[in-house]
Chain A
Amino acid sequence: MIAVVQFGGSNCDRDAVRALEDLGFDAERIWHEDELPAETTGIMLPGGFSYGDYLRGGAMAARSPIMETVRDAVDDGIPVLGVCNGAQVGCEAGLTPGAFTTNASARFQCEHVYLRVENADTKWTDAYDEGEVIELPIAHGEGRFEIDDEGYEELESEDRILFRYCDEDGNVTDEANPNGSRGNVAGILGESESVAVLMPHPERASLPELGSTDGRGVLAGFDS
């Protein structure tokens, strides 16, 4: 059972459950004040505006008690995926390095973007080919990935960058960078492959009616 953690202000939790169920997973929303069920085999931190983005996006949720349980689950090798606000929570909680902060445009960006698959040899990306271009929606005001030089070099040398913003042809350019993220980074792995965060929304690109099904491969990562 995949637990989709619902914080006050999460708003992509239902979408996530529906997308996961469509992929054949048993998924359930779990209120952040409740315990994670013993049968939890995966954890998704969904998008939204937990705690009204007070202080910084994800800052409050990252310090909520359920995150201790999430940390324990990570130690036990249970896969954790953070999407959008969930990605901010993941970085704020230290599950993944760096920070997602105010877009360079200082605007909320809500649009479809192209992503180049940087590493197709992970559970979250093995449905794709390395270098493949996929299309996912973004909807965030604080999505600019920031990290110090040392941390960035580590991510690169350890091949932990999953996706970079690119143009339709896969060119990673400033023009194709919707939020000013360092190195156009859109999604990364934590220290272990079982933890991943990304700002784009795979669950919003998981059914034909949504215009793109490119996100299914990311969610399918809970299976492997």
Chain B
Amino acid sequence: MTTYTATVTVRLKTGVLDPEAETTKRALERLGFELDALRFTERYEVDLDASDADEAADRADEMAERLLANPTIHDYEVEVSEA
């Protein structure tokens, strides 16, 4: 078994309104910054033991499917590296 870190990045699907990001963008603009757009992502780093990277990715994928992301509004991606 090898210890891996699976990084799960969860973001809103394109086109889904993100009021918190909009508010943050406006706050940055009030501070004098110029920007076109701002997006939030949520990033989870999961340490787990698996026989290989594929198994680690599969398990992290299922975690995203079942809890970390809401498929109605979110897309997600999983990256695995050796811890």
Residues on A close to B: CB < 8 A?
A: 55-56, 59, 63, 91-92, 97-99, 101-106, 144, 146-148, 151, 180
Contact = CB atoms under 8 A, between A and B. Distances in A.
Contacts of A104: 17, 19
Contacts of B72: 91, 97-99, 146-148, 151
Interface size class of B (residues with CB under 8 A): 10 to 19
Prevailing SS type, chain A contact patch: loop
Given A146-B16, A180-B17, A56 B23 contact: no
26 contacts: A55-B67, A59-B70, A63-B67, A91-B72, A97-B72, A99-B70, A99-B72, A99-B73, A101-B16, A101-B70, A101-B73, A102-B18, A102-B19, A103-B19, A104-B17, A104-B19, A105-B19, A106-B20, A106-B22, A106-B23, A144-B17, A146-B72, A147-B72, A151-B72, A180-B17, A180-B19
A104 B20 CA distance: 9
B27 to A, nearest CB: 11
A106 B67 contact: no
Interface of B: 16-20, 22-23, 66-68, 70, 72-73
A187 B72 CA distance: 17
Given A106-B22, A106-B23, A55 B68 contact: yes
A139 to B, nearest CB: 17
Contacts of B66: 63
B63 to A, nearest CB: 11
Query: Top 4 A-B pairs ranked by shortest CB distance?
Result: A106-B19, A99-B72, A106-B23, A102-B19
Contacts of B73: 99, 101, 146
Contacts of B22: 106
Contacts of A180: 17, 19
A59 B64 CA distance: 12
Contacts of A59: 67, 70
Nearest to B66: A63
Given A59-B70, A105-B19, A146-B72, 9 more contacts: A91-B72, A92-B70, A101-B70, A101-B73, A102-B20, A104-B17, A104-B19, A146-B73, A180-B17
A145 B32 CA distance: 33
Nearest to B68: A55
Nearest to A92: B70
Nearest to A180: B17
B75 to A, nearest CB: 12
